[in-house]
Amino acid sequence: MPKYDVCLSFAGEDRDYVEEVARHLAELGVSRFYDTDEQADLWGKNLVEHLDEIYRKDSRFCVMFVSEAYVRKMWTRHERRSAFDRALVQDTEYVLPARFDDTEVPALRAGTGYLDLRNRTPRELAVMIAQKVGAPVEATPEGWEYQLFSDTASMHLRKLKDKRLSHEMRFAEDVRTFTTDTEALDYYLMRSRAFDKIVNGVADLLSDGKQQWAFGPAGRAGDRDRIKHLATQFVKSYEELLKWAADLRGTTTPARFEPLYTATAQLADEPLAQIEEFLAQLAAATERNAGDLRLTLSYDASEVEAELKKVQTT
């Protein structure tokens, strides 16, 4: 009798997603091998031999999280070789590929069925794994629409971690240079209008009309594809704020415009933090089968207005 229903084979670069899958599998009662949970047991063991046992003998299925990093890494290469050895002598399917990208995996047959993870939440994948191993899966809970919106938005938000860190560091690559005051002022005014458009767009995405379009009228179930699309567009607005600020930081201007551009780029700080807090609170609420998609973005433009006044009066 295998020790685990499923073992999870993945690269460290994809851990954030896989960790969520592992957590949801535990909630669904699916036994799984996830390395972080068993660090004490792995401590001091010959990992080559021990992991070979897990990926070749001790699991009913192996979920292989395919990505460029997965194919490149030494330990994942060892895991998949053990998994393929098992698959070679088993009459039924064993390796269950789940793809973050289209990287070709050596020894994985081209016709093998796989799941695309690019728009599939960790919770959705965990439910499919539970169904595959025959674990009982409860009916869709009340308030699932909020849960799906939260899961989808959080999944896409995690992909922007590096851009968020660059924003916090005030880092940006050089994108353009203005040598005249007229160029610098005209571009600043254009980017100010772009900022207003992004902020107003967030409010529009969460408007009553958009919510009813995705979540359905009262008493009726929502549409999964529409909810996912709405959540994806919501996070795109967050990404647009990051790009907007990076664009200003990456613009070289005459010296007297530098404080204006710096202060303006920092206008994104408050809306970014408010979106993150909104999603954190929504995730907590969905655990209680609740949810509320109300968000008003705000920011303090007083420093920007003061700097703008300086360049316009000198």
CATH 3.40.50.10140 in the chain: give the residue spans.
4-133
Cα–Cα separations (whole angstroms), residue 241 to 24, 76, 101, 187: 31, 36, 26, 17
pLDDT given at position 62 = 94
For residue 24, give the 3-state DSSP assignment: helix
Residue identified by tokens 């957590």 is 23
Residue matched to tokens 């005249």: 180
- According to CATH, the superfamily of the domain at 4-133 is Toll/interleukin-1 receptor homology (TIR) domain (3.40.50.10140)
Q: Which two tokens stand for residue 93?
A: 């399917």
CATH number, span 144-313: 1.20.1420
Classify 191 as helix, strand or coil. Answer: helix
Give the pLDDT band of residue 39 (cuts 50, 70, 90): low
Average pLDDT, the chain: 91
N residues, the chain: 314
For residues 140 and 123, give the distance between their C-alpha atoms in angstroms, rounded to a whole number: 12
Question: What residue ranges of the chain are covered by domains with CATH 1.20.1420?
Answer: 144-313
Q: How confident is the model at residue 75 (pLDDT cuts 50, 70, 90)?
A: confident
Residue 292: what pLDDT?
80
Tell me: the pLDDT tens digits for 185-206? 999 999 999 999 999 999 999 9
Rounded Cα–Cα distance for residues 231 and 234 (Å) = 5
Contact 62, 97 (CB under 8 A): no
pTM for this entry: 0.87
Angle separating helix axes 302-313 and 258-265, nearest 10 degrees: 160
